[in-house]
Amino acid sequence: MLRLALCLGLAGLLSAGLALAAERRQPSELGDVEVGEIAAGLEHPWALAFLPGGRQLLLTERPGRLRLVSLDGQVGAPIAGVPSVFARGQGGLLDVALSPGFARDRLVYLSYAEQGRDGMAGTSVGRGRLSEDASRLDGFEVIFRQLPRLSEGLHFGSRLVFDHDGFLYIALGENNQRPAAQQLDKLQGKLVRIRPDGRVPEDNPFVGRDDARPEIWSYGHRNQQGAALNPWSGRLWTHEHGPRGGDEINIPVAGGNHGWPRATHGINYSFLPIPEAEGEAVEGTIAPHHVWKKSPAISGMAFYDAARFPAWQHSLFIGALAGQALIRLLLDGERIVHEERLLESLGERIRDVRLGPDGFVYLLTDAANGRLLRVGLAGD
């Protein structure tokens, strides 16, 4: 009996070891990919932002928690001073971004779902000053609200990106209210451009129009959950969920109409056509830069321009929720010339993708027991 127990125990250890090895090393076209777990037990983590020095990061959990996490796996207690969030459906605490001047001002920007007095919700953005011990956000203030609020729990977006001139872009969803994405007096389905304190830049494309919100940069978007600056061109890229099919990447144009719901490659979840759809290509709208006929359900976006893994240079990494993969797109200039699906055997929904200062790619998995993962090429 003792020998049997020892054998069973050894078999269990070997099985666990093999499972760990299988998870830590995954095949790819460019060689094996190594996956390392930094932290687990995170409740639906949504976004991360590295602090200066690259050894610590801020991480959001959708129920409304902001945490400090170190790359040695230490997960801090929830940081105080975070606003109350509408944590229903797809709502909650969403993106996090650091001020371009964080080293001197310590300002942290958060996007989150906020409920109004009528019970409807929209995406809001605010900022607060991270204390020196990183235990709290001081003086948190709202600098942007998506008005009117039209969501009952769906399609908040959102991603926050500062450009090289210090303007803040906010990629928004249309709150599952399709026509609103085409209505310029509403902030649903829009890419917004503001100053870091919330003021509207005078050169925004709709400034001075009585029938349009001045914050709007582009419109006709559905549910944008990825945005990043292309490091070679300096242009902002965004991506958005289609309905049943039609996930797309856009390079937003100032004042541009990017189509939804008039132009789409998808159909309704009921398998019926989108009522407002006029076709895949509609005059007066801008075609997507890239489209998936079958939706991976994309979230998170990071361009790879680090020296650590030369084989990944000029790649764009995107997470897939329904597709449960890390998508690598190869770029030739701004053209997408090849696609590869990585980490499919992990079987996890990938919510956020970031390039770390160390040249590794960092992922958040969307689950009640979500994880922070570090990904790189083996042997490099």
- Domain residue spans in the chain? 43-377
SS3 category, 346: helix
| Tens-place pLDDT, residues 328-353 | 999 999 999 999 999 999 999 999 99
CA dihedral 218, 223, 226, 227 (to 10 degrees): 10
Q: What is the pLDDT, as a whole number, of residue 349?
A: 98
Rounded CA separation 55/53 (Å): 6
Give yes or no for residue 274 having a pLDDT over 90.
yes
Q: Which among 175, 267, 168, 253 is positioned nearest to 219, based on CA atoms?
A: 253
| Tens-place pLDDT, residues 143-178 | 999 999 999 999 999 999 999 999 999 999 999 999
SS3 content of the chain, % helix, strand, coil (to 5): 10, 45, 45
Question: What's the whole-number mean pLDDT along residues 279-289?
Answer: 97
Q: What is the DSSP letter of 11?
A: H
Give yes or no for residue 181 having a pLDDT over 90.
yes
Q: What is the pLDDT, as a whole number, of residue 23?
A: 64
SS3 category, 17: helix
The DSSP annotation for 60-87 comes to: EETTTEEEEEETTS-BPPPPBTPPP---
**Which fold does the domain 43-377 belong to in CATH?**
Neuraminidase (2.120.10)
The DSSP annotation for 124-170 comes to: EEEEEEEPTTSSBEEEEEEEEE-SS--BSSS--EEEEEE-TTSPEEE
pLDDT level of residue 31 (50, 70, 90 thresholds): very high
pLDDT level of residue 380 (50, 70, 90 thresholds): low
Q: What is the DSSP letter of 6?
A: H
Rounded CA separation 297/240 (Å): 8
Give yes or no for residue 3 having a pLDDT over 70.
no
If phi over 0 gives left and psi between -120 and 50 gives alpha, with beta otherwise, what is residue 300?
left
What pTM was computed for the model?
0.93
Q: Which among 149, 223, 153 is positioned nearest to 187, based on CA atoms?
A: 149
The answer to whether residues 262 and 288 touch, using CB atoms and an 8 Å cutoff, is no
With tokens 């001081």, the residue in question is 138
In the chain, % of residues over pLDDT 70: 94
| Tens-place pLDDT, residues 33-92 | 999 999 999 999 999 999 999 999 999 999 999 999 999 999 999 999 999 999 999 999
Q: What is the pLDDT, as a whole number, of residue 7?
A: 40
Question: What's the whole-number mean pLDDT along residues 286-296?
Answer: 97
| Catalytic option among 44, 155, 241, 290 | 155
- Gyration radius from the chain CA atoms: 21
Q: What is the pLDDT, as a whole number, of residue 15?
A: 33
Q: What is the pLDDT, as a whole number, of residue 345?
A: 93
Residue 240 is which amino acid?
A: E
Enter the tokens of residue 157. Answer: 């977006």
Q: What is the pLDDT, as a whole number, of residue 379?
A: 83
Give yes or no for residue 9 having a pLDDT over 60.
no
Q: What is the pLDDT, as a whole number, of residue 24?
A: 87
Enter the tokens of residue 219. Answer: 């419109």
Q: What is the pLDDT, as a whole number, of residue 310?
A: 98
270: CB partners within 8 A, 6+ apart: none
241 is a catalytic site residue: no
Enter the tokens of residue 75. Answer: 């997960």
